Amino acid sequence: MTDDQIRQAAPVLCQGPAIDAARQAMARLTSTQTVELDQPPALLATAERWETAQGTKVSFIAAHDRPMIDLVLRFRAGSALDGDHPGLAALTLYSLDQGTETLSAAQFAEHMAARGAIVGRSLSEDKATITLRCLSTPGLLRAVSQTLAQMLARPAFRAEDVAKIRDRIALYQGRQNLNPLARLINTTTGHVFSGHPYASHADAAIIGPLTTDQVRAFHAKAYSASNLAIGLVGDLSRDEAEQLVNDLIRDLPQQWASQPPSMLGEQSPLSRHIAHPGSATQAMLTLAIPVLPNAPVYAALELLTEILGGNYEARLPQELRHVRGLTYTVTTKLRHLDAGALLHVHWDVAPQYREASHALVAGMLDCLHELGPTQVECDMAVNQIAARLHRELADSAKLAATLATHSHQGLPADYLTTHLDRLASLTPAHLREVAQVWWRNAPQVFVTLGPDAEQSPLPTPEPAQR
């Protein structure tokens, strides 16, 4: 880009608002006079924590409003353990429910469905997750937990079933290769994770010629009780919760625990365009930040991410959508991993503004670490995060998943209860300092996917828009 084009891509909104106009308007309403606008309600979600004799970490919250439980089993058995065998963690996880030593795949599915139990599975770089939702009626829960325990500890891993799952994974991966957004993400993570154990997940398009013996060996190691964190929410007493957990893990493999992967190393900057037919260009800007959720600075990064693009009133949506009309949606996400965090900024734009919009988004990042946010932006961001957490954690399944994750990450039992106060205590000066240290020095990985087009400078915003 020329110097003139760069100047045209300079942010209009380089400084945040000094006055919260929405709050001022609400304060004038009679209906809001009894509402506390300055202090979001606390998250009352302090968990009971214990560790079993086998080394399983458990977080439990009793919830007696509904006769059901949500259980999340988080094994440190993600694709980072694949090593030289891409797809091994995925094949093991998705073969678990294909029957046990005494049940076929169909019998297992029928047994769980007949009792209204819902079992789910998911895989990431760090974890293999198994979820269960069912009624807490003692007899029914006992039958379901016994069957789930068989699946966890004594899966059949019949050769024909493993081969069937391998073919399904290969078919799914082939379809994902045709998904534009998946290609964008895979290109980004492939560069960020180059040379790291996470590269196996980034190269998910490959699944090796894996054998049943390899799957059995992986399960015997990675699905150990000491490699497991559990989140449990439901209509149970503490004693009942302990009994349920003990029944589930009693026959699991023992005495092996995965070590956390090495922190993400510094990556070289990248700017890459992938030609793809269409009317718009998908763009993703990523910063790799070697910070874990249990670090004191992580809360500041979370708040900065919200201020940058976590809601419609944040800086990027205001600049790119409302002031310039470049895109309908621009989002930011701080993704936490055992090896660090990834800040993703994702937007779509007309093909001719691919490079100019990159310069604009990079300029918005520069504004935040040069000038910092305003107190109004900090307050608004805390309220947005509080509203989202209250909404999400009202779902007991999401709450159970969060409990398992926090236990896995070594966060304290009262982390959720104290989190909003921790965010609210952060000052604009503190956030500016964090942005200067962690954003300014992070190499930018910029990947776009869309039609080739001659690049143009951004239109100059009208005075009224300014």
Per-residue model confidence as pLDDT tens digits over 301-320? 999 999 999 998 899 999 99
For residue 114, the SS3 value is: helix
Question: Between these two residues, 205 and 66, which has the higher pLDDT value?
Answer: 66
Give the pLDDT score at 123: 95
Q: How far apart are the first and last CA of the chain?
A: 23
For residue 403, the SS3 value is: helix
Share of the chain above pLDDT 70, in %: 93
Torsion angles phi and psi, residue 69, rounded to 5: -130, 150
Q: Partners of 234 in the beta sheet?
A: 62, 69
Confidence check: pLDDT of 299 > 80: yes
Give the pLDDT score at 155: 96
Q: How many whole angstroms separate alpha carbon 196 and alpha carbon 340?
A: 12
Same fold, 48-249 and 264-450: yes
Question: Between these two residues, 29 and 378, which has the higher pLDDT value?
Answer: 378
Fold of the domain built from segment(s) 48-249: Cytochrome Bc1 Complex; Chain A, domain 1 (3.30.830)
Mean pLDDT calculated for residue range 152-167:
94
Give the pLDDT score at 163: 93
Are 147 and 119 in contact by the 8 Å Cβ rule? The answer is no
Q: Give the domain ranges of the chain.
A: 48-249, 264-450
Output DSSP code: residue 396. Answer: H
Helix H or strand E segment including 281? strand 281-289
Confidence check: pLDDT of 217 > 90: yes
Torsion angles phi and psi, residue 136, rounded to 5: -95, 10
Predicted confidence (pLDDT) per residue in 360-384, tens digit: 999 999 999 999 999 999 999 999 9
Confidence check: pLDDT of 81 > 90: yes
Give the pLDDT score at 34: 65
Lowest mean pLDDT: which of 135-139, 163-167, 200-204, 279-283? 200-204
- Kindly indicate the confidence band of residue 38, based on its pLDDT and cuts at 50, 70 and 90: low
Q: How many whole angstroms separate alpha carbon 436 and alpha carbon 445?
A: 18
For residue 416, the SS3 value is: helix
Beta-strand runs (E) in 171-255: 228-234
Q: How many whole angstroms separate alpha carbon 133 and alpha carbon 71?
A: 6
Q: What separation in angstroms does the CA of 158 have from each of 82, 112, 152?
A: 21, 20, 15
Which is it for strands 48-51 and 57-62: parallel, antiparallel or unpaired? antiparallel
Instruction: For the beta carbon of residue 451, count every other beta carbon within 10 angstroms.
Output: 15
pTM of the shown model: 0.91
Are 437 and 282 in contact by the 8 Å Cβ rule? The answer is no
Q: How many whole angstroms separate alpha carbon 186 and alpha carbon 373?
A: 32
Q: What separation in angstroms does the CA of 123 have from each of 51, 80, 91, 461?
A: 24, 10, 10, 44
Q: How many whole angstroms separate alpha carbon 420 and alpha carbon 388?
A: 12
163 token code pair: 């081969």
Give ∠ CA 260-74-234 in degrees, rounded to 5.
Answer: 145
Give the pLDDT score at 273: 97
Mean pLDDT calculated for residue range 74-101:
94
Give the class (CATH, top level) of 264-450. Answer: alpha beta
Give the pLDDT score at 389: 95
Give ∠ CA 45-408-155 in degrees, rounded to 5.
Answer: 110
Mean pLDDT calculated for residue range 342-371:
96
Confidence check: pLDDT of 6 > 60: no
User: Mean pLDDT, the chain, as a whole number?
Assistant: 91
Question: Between these two residues, 426 and 260, which has the higher pLDDT value?
Answer: 426
Give ∠ CA 52-56-59 in degrees, rounded to 5.
Answer: 90
Confidence check: pLDDT of 270 > 70: yes
Helix axes 298-309, 428-438, angle to 10 degrees: 100
Give the largest CA-CA distance in the chain: 73
Q: What separation in angstroms does the CA of 208 have from each of 86, 127, 164?
A: 6, 20, 14
Confidence check: pLDDT of 416 > 90: yes
Are 263 and 340 in contact by the 8 Å Cβ rule? The answer is yes
Output DSSP code: residue 261. Answer: P
- Kindly indicate the confidence band of residue 228, based on its pLDDT and cuts at 50, 70 and 90: very high
Mean pLDDT calculated for residue range 81-85:
91
Are 292 and 405 in contact by the 8 Å Cβ rule? The answer is no
Q: How many whole angstroms separate alpha carbon 435 and alpha carbon 439?
A: 5
Which residue in the block uniquely carries the two structure tokens 């493993």? Answer: 162
Give the pLDDT score at 43: 87
Q: How many whole angstroms separate alpha carbon 106 and alpha carbon 361?
A: 51
Give the pLDDT score at 41: 82
